[in-house]
Amino acid sequence: MRLILVVFSLTLFPVLLLAQYDDEKMLVFEEEFKKSFKSKPKLDVKFDNRFSFIQDNALKTVGIKIGLSFNRKFKVGLGINQMLFPVESTVINEGDTSVPVNLEYFYFSPYLEYVYYSTRKWEFSLATQIGFGGASYQYNDENGKKVKLLESTVLSYEPAMMIDYKIIRWIGIGTGVGYRFVYYKSPGIKERFSSPEYVIKLKIYLGEIIRTITGKELKID
């Protein structure tokens, strides 16, 4: 429990920094944290699209996130993300030959969210995910087979401010803005991945769907 609190503190550092001058707000945050993680969690499932930029090209990354929601206040889980459309680039090969290639990007992302305001329909939250993955230059050879020329390990940190709206009891939508900070990229790929991000997501309330179909609550012990 203490480890989780430390992770959340680091994740939400800007918020906690602002709150340090208000002891009452900090106390509320700590009480919400303790109360939430004593409650039984519910399944949290969502799909999101993240729009950012590489070489002035619009980059669309699609992902699915599966995790647990504690008391509708704290959410933790894991995401899988993939660049939807490759970005065209070039690689200078031996002999100063330019080779046209496509840039591919894939990563896993543990995520954390803190819902600081909610109603029956709305949720306002601070979210972050840490990306562990890689990027590569690829092209198709004369047989149509994909060939990798270069690849890099890419580690990123992506904080965002999010707004979710529950359309009906089973489905919701959300949007947000954030930034992708790349704090490590191994040699190989020349592109710069750090960029502002715009998020659009679809939320599926799986617990509500199961309750509607079976009449029973989905419980996770």
Q: Does residue 214 or residue 216 have the better pLDDT?
A: 214
Distance of alpha carbon 195 from alpha carbon 83, whole angstroms: 14
Confidence (pTM): 0.79
Give yes or no for residue 203 having a pLDDT over 90.
no
Q: Does residue 71 carry a pLDDT above 80?
A: yes
Q: Which residue has the higher pLDDT, 32 or 181?
A: 181
Query: What is the per-residue pLDDT for 123?
Result: 93
Backbone angles phi, psi at 6, to 5 degrees: -65, -45
Contact criterion met (CB below 8 Å) for 77 and 65? yes
* Calpha distance 58→13 (Å, rounded): 30
pLDDT at position 134 is: 94
**185 has pLDDT over 90:** yes
**Is residue 154 pLDDT above 90, yes or no?**
yes
Q: Where are the beta strands (DSSP E) in 19-142?
A: 42-54, 57-70, 74-83, 87-93, 97-118, 122-140
Determine contact, residues 47/202, Cβ cutoff 8 Å. yes
pLDDT of residue 12: 52
Q: Is the pLDDT confidence value at 147 over 70?
A: yes
CATH of domain 41-214: 2.40.160.20
Examine the pLDDT at 153 and tell me if it is beyond 70: yes
Q: How far is CA 156 from CA 6, 91, 187, in A?
A: 19, 24, 15
Report whether 153 contacts 134 (CB < 8 A): yes
Q: Where are the domains of the chain?
A: 1-38, 41-214
